[in-house]
């Protein structure tokens, strides 16, 4: 069987600890090369047994053996390097958020189509089967008609002075970093788009970056959504769906990998509660999905059009923060 040969643009921590090991676990993929502008690519390659090293991203993209690239660069660089990768005919897995605005993402989606390459934003959490189970429970009618969904993703940032997520010029901010998951999960689980957003946030006085935010979203069909995200709160990664007859709670929604891939789905109806355990290797499932789509010319379950829709909501959240008023999407 042919295997997809991957190139890695940057030695970012998530690449080293999660995505490169996942590619190496895959039967459909292998890591062929890594490039870094920091000069540390050779060190990472030696540690992770990567065959080839490049000192520039351009050199890696010119390698004819590379089929696909993973881009975990700072948010502000995604647009440039996605376009460059597409120009060289490479399929693309790009870290979230894939762009800084919906307009940037529209340009990226259009160019990738012109170059006949697949593009996928790396919302790895969605590949965990616990979310399929949640949708099955909702569809069964067990919790009645859905009225509300809330989602939370936060962590306490210890290294604020050096963390790129605190640099506004690099696309820093809690909504971009973790709020994007909350927005995505609501759109994904509800199968609906928000029509209005009202966001409140706390900005860092020195950098202007949003270090925490809370937003209210009004969805189609009258469903309400609320999310909170933060760099200043303890680690939480959860969502809850409330219906007319019960509710579903998912306490390991976005990073089940920190619990060995074990997800939990708790359903409460009529005063009775049960918890289902669901297992999944999110990074491997993500890599395999894109690799299989490339190999078998299949459609992606999360195409670029969905990324554009998610970016529109992020745009609206930031517009609401700036205007201090409700924004219609």
User: Could you say which DSSP state residue 126 is in?
Assistant: G
Same domain, 258 and 135: yes
Same domain, 71 and 181: no
- Boundary (domain end) residue, out of 88, 122, 156: 122
Q: Looking up tokens 């690449």, which residue turns up?
A: 15
Which CATH number belongs to the domain containing residue 237 in this structure?
3.30.360.10
Which pLDDT value is given to residue 221? 86
In a domain, 79, yes or no: yes
Same domain, 202 and 252: yes
pLDDT digits (tens, 9 = 90+) for 68-86: 999 999 999 999 999 999 9
pLDDT digits (tens, 9 = 90+) for 124-174: 999 999 999 999 999 999 999 999 999 999 999 999 989 999 999 999 999
Give the burial class of 62: count Cβ atoms within 10 A of its Cβ; 0-12 exposed, 13-18 middle, 19 or more buried. exposed
- Boundary (domain end) residue, out of 66, 93, 122: 122
Same domain, 110 and 58: yes
Find how far residue 51's CA is from the centre of its chain.
28
Q: Looking up tokens 């901010």, which residue turns up?
A: 173
Which pLDDT value is given to residue 53? 96
Which CATH number belongs to the domain containing residue 68 in this structure?
3.40.50.720
pLDDT digits (tens, 9 = 90+) for 18-33: 999 999 999 999 999 9
Q: Is the pLDDT of residue 1 over 80?
A: no
Same domain, 88 and 214: no
Is the pTM above the cut of 0.85?
yes
pLDDT digits (tens, 9 = 90+) for 181-190: 999 999 999 9
Tell me if 248 sits within 8 A of 240, measured CB to CB.
Answer: yes
Nearest to 183 by CA among 89, 31, 310: 310
In a domain, 170, yes or no: yes
Give how many domains the chain has, as a whole number.
Answer: 2
Same domain, 155 and 275: yes
Tell me how far apart the alpha carbons of residues 263 and 90 are, in angstroms, rounded to a whole number: 33
- Boundary (domain end) residue, out of 58, 87, 122: 122
Instruction: Provide the domain limits for residue 234.
Output: 125-280+311-328
Which pLDDT value is given to residue 57? 97
Same domain, 140 and 204: yes
pLDDT digits (tens, 9 = 90+) for 87-120: 999 999 999 999 999 999 999 999 999 999 999 9
What is the rounded average pLDDT for all residues in the chain?
Answer: 97
Same domain, 188 and 102: no
Q: Is the pLDDT of residue 326 over 90?
A: yes
Task: For residue 162, give Cα distances in angstroms to 108, 165, 167, 209.
Answer: 29, 9, 9, 14
In a domain, 260, yes or no: yes
Which pLDDT value is given to residue 79? 98
């Amino acid at each position: 069987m042919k295997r997809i040969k991957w190139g890695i643009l940057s030695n970012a921590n998530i690449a080293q600890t999660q995505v490169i090991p996942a590619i190496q676990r895959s039967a459909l993929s292998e890591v062929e090369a890594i490039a870094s502008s920091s000069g540390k690519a050779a060190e990472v390659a030696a540690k992770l047994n990567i065959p080839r090293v490049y000192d520039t991203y351009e050199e890696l993209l010119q390698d004819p053996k590379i089929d696909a690239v993973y881009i975990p660069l700072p948010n502000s660089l995604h647009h440039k390097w996605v376009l460059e990768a597409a120009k060289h005919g490479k399929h693309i897995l790009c870290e979230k958020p894939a762009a800084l605005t919906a307009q940037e993402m529209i340009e990226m989606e259009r160019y990738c189509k012109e170059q006949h390459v697949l593009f996928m934003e790396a919302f790895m959490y969605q590949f965990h089967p616990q979310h399929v189970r949640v949708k099955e429970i909702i569809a069964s009618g067990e919790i009645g008609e859905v009225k509300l969904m809330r989602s939370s993703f936060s962590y306490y940032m210890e290294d604020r002075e050096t963390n790129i997520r605190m640099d506004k010029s690099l696309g820093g901010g809690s909504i971009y970093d973790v709020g994007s998951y909350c927005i995505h999960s609501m759109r994904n689980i509800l199968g609906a788009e928000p029509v209005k957003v009202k966001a409140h946030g706390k900005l860092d006085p020195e950098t202007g970056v949003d270090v925490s935010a809370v937003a209210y979203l009004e969805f189609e069909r009258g469903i309400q959504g609320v999310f909170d995200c933060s760099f200043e709160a303890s680690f939480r990664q959860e969502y809850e769906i409330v219906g007319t007859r019960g509710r579903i709670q998912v306490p390991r929604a976005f990073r089940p990998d920190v619990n060995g891939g074990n997800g939990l789905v708790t359903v409460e109806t009529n005063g009775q509660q049960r918890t289902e355990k669901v297992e999944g290797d999110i990074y491997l499932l993500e890599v395999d999905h894109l690799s299989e789509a490339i190999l078998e010319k299949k459609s992606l379950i999360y195409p670029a059009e969905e990324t554009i829709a998610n970016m529109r909501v992020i745009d609206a959240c930031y517009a609401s923060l700036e205007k201090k008023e409700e924004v219609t999407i």
